[in-house]
Structures are given as C-alpha cells and as structure tokens.
Structure 1
Amino acid sequence: MADENQLDTGADNASEAQPTTPGAKLRAAREAQGLSIQDVATRTRIAVRQLEAVERDDYAALPGIPYAVGFARAYARAVDMDEVAIAADVRQAVNNSDMGANRYEMFEPVDPARVPSRTLAWTAAVIVVLLIAAFTIWRTQLLTPPTGEQIAQEEAKPAAVRPAGVAPVAPAVQPVIFTAVDDVWLRIYDEAGERLKDGLMKKGESFTLPPAAKGPMILTGRPQALTVTVGGKPIPPLGEADRTIADVPVSAEALLARGTAPVSATPTPAAPAARPAPRRVAPRPTPTLESPVPAAVPATSPPAAAGTQPTAG
C-alpha cells in the first residue's frame, strides 16, 4: 500500500514538473540545449524583451496576436520544436485570455522579423493617395469644357477687315498630318473628349486629322518624335523634348498661328568680289648730295688769256 502511494506521488510530481504552457515548453527546450535567451534572439532576430514575454506567456505585452503566434513559431524553430504545435498552443492560450476578446487581427506574419515597419506602410499609403489625387485632377482638367467667359472672349476677338461689298470667302480646309519620326504614344481628342487617335504610332506612320474635328487637342510625352504639317507646311515642334504636353490645340488654325518651321537650304556661295586694280605709285626720287656752289667771280676780274698763268697777287 505504501509502495502504491509512493508511485502515485512520483507520478504527480512528474506531471507537475512537465511544462504545460507554450512559453514554459519553449524555455525548457532552450535550457535543455544550453542556450541563453540572447542566443535565441540572435537566431530569430527578435528582441530579447519580446522573447521573454513569450516565455512568460505574457501575450498582452506583444504588438498583437499575429506577432505573438509568429514570435512563438520562430522561437520553436530556433530550439528544434514543432512550430505548428506551439502555434496552436499559443492561439488557444490567446483565445482563453482577454487579449483574444479585445484584440482581433486579420493576418499572421510568417516571419515577424521581415514584417514592414509602420513608417514604411504609412509612407506607401501617402504616395498612393497623392497619385490618385494627381490623376483625378488631371482627368478633371482634361474633360472640363470651356466656360462661358472663355467662349465670349473668343467671340469678342475682332474679325479681319475686308473691303465693303466683298463676300467672305470660306477658308479652304488644309489637311493636318502627323508623322512619327520615332515610336511615340499619343492621344488626339476633340472638345467633347472623343478620342480621334489613341495608341502607339510606329516610326514612319502617319495620321491625318479628320477635317470635321471640333477643337482637336493632343496629349503625348515625346513631342519631338512627331512632325506636323498643315497643307504641306511644316510646323514647329509642339513642345520641348521629353516633356509631356496636354490640351495643346492641333487644329489647322491653331497650328498655323504657331508659325512654320524654317526650311533648311544649302546656301549658294557668293561670287568673289572683283579685286581693285593696283594703284600706280610714282617712284620717289633718290636723295643725292648737293654739289657746293662755286664762289662768285668778281666782275672786274678779266678772264685769263689762254696759255697764261695767273700771277699771284
């Protein structure tokens, strides 16, 4: 009888010594391998204070239910335990506590060390909101019709003065042709927003604007890849290279108002100017030494006779 009581007491002590909670099981496995809590933190890249909370089964000290389960699974992998069983024990412990009733999460990270930070998530959300707002504003400006004031200003512009008695002559419709010098995406639409041309134009492809188009405009990101002619006359580029242009009028009247592109021509070499005839310069006289002027002969002195020697005075 005494032996049976001793056996029962030993079984009770063994059951009490066996860890029952997930945190106690993880701590026992760590101590059995001779690891410190810092060793587990190094393996899992989880803070020591959060691993200590997992060992204490203090899940309220963790950021949320998914983190509690994720930290426990990472801890189990680090000490060679069944992470699925540990995760199930943690979920059951959380559901039995007040934490499960007050904090509900929709996801569970597989590896909590790789979960994006809250700052990164907020930054991405702000960028998305800004992009949506910018697209909405651009779309609104694209589809907004002209106001009555703008129409009145256009109608108030003075018409060209013509002689009396001469009937106005309807201007001939000049074809507007767009030619792609390189692959380019564009959209041509009228004032009602109807798309006349939308898509990619291959190099060498041309598009003729319908003559009945009302208030046609263009949108493209590479205006330098297009050449535009009105009635065969080249038009200057519609915008700067690699700069997006939008709501640029492309009717024949609007394009002609921009002027025509200068036509490059090979200049004709001018004839050489005639060289002037050389001017004749008279030779300058060579300077000579002047001979001394002989002394004047006295008038009273008779000329010496031939063959006579002058006598000294």
Structure 2
Amino acid sequence: VEFGEIDAGAGQVMVVSKGRGEAKGLADAKGTLVTALKYDWMGKPGVDLVAFKEAGAKLCGYMDFQGKTVIPPAFAECNPFGEKGAMVLAANVEGKNKGGFIGRDGKWLIEPTYASVGDAKLSSMGMLGNVPGYSHIGVLQNMFLAYYGVFDLNKGVEVLKPEYLQVGVLTDNLFAFSDLASPYRTVRVFGQPSQVRAVGVVDAKGKVLIKPDEYTYFKLDASGRYLSAYEALGAPARVALYDLDGKQVVPARWQELEVDVARGAIFGYEVQGTGDDMSRSLRALYRLDGTPVFDTVIVKAGCDVEQVRNGKGEVLWPIDPKEYCEDPDVGA
C-alpha cells in the first residue's frame, strides 16, 4: 500500500494517510492497514495505545494497535501514552482545558491541575517535539508568566517541578532549562536578529550542572556520550562538548565537532557559509577526553596567519608565519 504521509510510531505501528490534510489511519510495520483511513487526527503511537479523533469530532480518545477503542473520546487533547499513563487536557474544567494524568482505563490518576502538558523537548525554536516517556507540565503564575517542569509517563511522577521558564529532556537524568536569571542572547532566526534566553543543564535532582549563560541550545550528540552546546541558533554557530556530568570536554571554537568513538577521536571543523556556499575545513583533532592532538590558531604576524600546533602548544607549521604575509610592495 502506498501512502502520501507516514508518521512512524513505536516500531509496531505507524499513522498513515494518502497525503497532507487527508484522513488518517493506522498501519502495521508491513504497511498493512489496521484501520480505515477515516480519522481527522491521530497522535504519535505511545506504549500500546494511540490517540485519535473521529471525523468532525472535537474530543479525542485512544485505541490499541489493533484499532479497538480502549478509551472513548472524552478529552480536549490527547498525548502519547507511557507505561503508566498519558497526559491529557480535560474538556471545559472551570471554563478552561486543564491537564491531568490518566491510566489505561481512562480514569484520572492525577486530577486536571496543569495549565499546559505535552511536548518535552527543548528545541532551537522553543518547547517543541515529543520525547517518548515524558511530558512537560506547565503552571500559570499570572496572565503573562508560566513555569514548566517535566513529568515521567513511565513512572507517573514529576521529575522536575514546574519552576523553569523553559525545560526539555536531554537524557533520563539531564534536562535543558532557562529561568528568570538566564541572560538574553542575540541570535539570528531566519536571517533576523532575535533575543532568546540562555540555556543551561540541570539533573533530575535539580542540581545545576551547566549554568544558563553562554549557550542557547543543547542536545545529546549522536554518540550518546556528550552534550553538544551551541552558542547560537542556526549555522554557522560555534559548538562545545560537555560530558554527561557537566564537565567541558572541548571548548566552543569550531562550528562542528564530530565524535568518532571507534577511532577514539573528536574532529573539529570550521564551517563557513550556508547551503551551496558552505565550506567545511578540518581545524583540530582531540582525543575523547578532550586532550588536543593538534589545533589551529590565528596568530598576528603583520597579517592573520593560521598556525597548527600540537597538544603541548608547540608550533608544527608554519614555523615563521611572517613568510605567509604578502609584501604590500609586491606588484605595486
């Protein structure tokens, strides 16, 4: 069966449709439809259940991976299930849709108390993106201010209480955050300058490992061993590496740091330009503990010259950088 749009799920099923804006349905891993393509909306498949809205309906419920309704539509918003339960918005609680935590029978495990629930990823564009097993929880302080925390859907407990301006899951024990003390940093979004709060890292016990000062975005690197810390949004922005204890491994000198665990190396690349005009040049090599093998620095020798040095700071090349400065009288 060919589908125009596929939203991969939990490995067993996926949400499919004939195209953007078309009715959705559930298919198994082989692409065989489990339900008809008849739903206005379907959520991301969670642990054994997936949320849905019938055609023309305002409320959502949950079905199992065989297409059988398990929790009838009764909620204003339905988020993916964890092992213990799911965060939903109850319809018209005191005139507002408040969030609470339900079990697999659809009954409240935590009554609707939160002003906001849902995405638990802190992306470069804000709190956007699903993290399986987690939900953010938001509590209004006043009309203009809300604080956010993190809820564990597998255990059914608050991991971080709602005390942050922004918060997002990096690992099961590490979370990116901003608070009222976080300074603003100027970044460029779609080519235009914009002010964003600096982001730091806190662990599950609430201990700040990296203060929200220098960086605007964190993510777990592809190796799973380090946190990539970006000075600004978009490219080219310099990036640093931290270990999972919050210790800096490589400072923010280059726009790209490539971790090669098999070769025991971290490659530092200078990236300039974007798109077809982008250039990428190797400028440094580090061991996995951050010890430099070689590095490139700019030296002033009548002109700016790149000089390669080893891990001890000894010059490898060029020994005399003045030789690479053009004589202004030549060709005059």
TM-score normalised to the size of structure 2?
Answer: 0.22
TM-score normalised to the size of structure 1?
Answer: 0.23
Larger relative contact order, structure 1 or 2 (CA cutoff 8 Å, min sep 6) = 1
Q: Which structure's CA Rg is the greater one?
A: 1
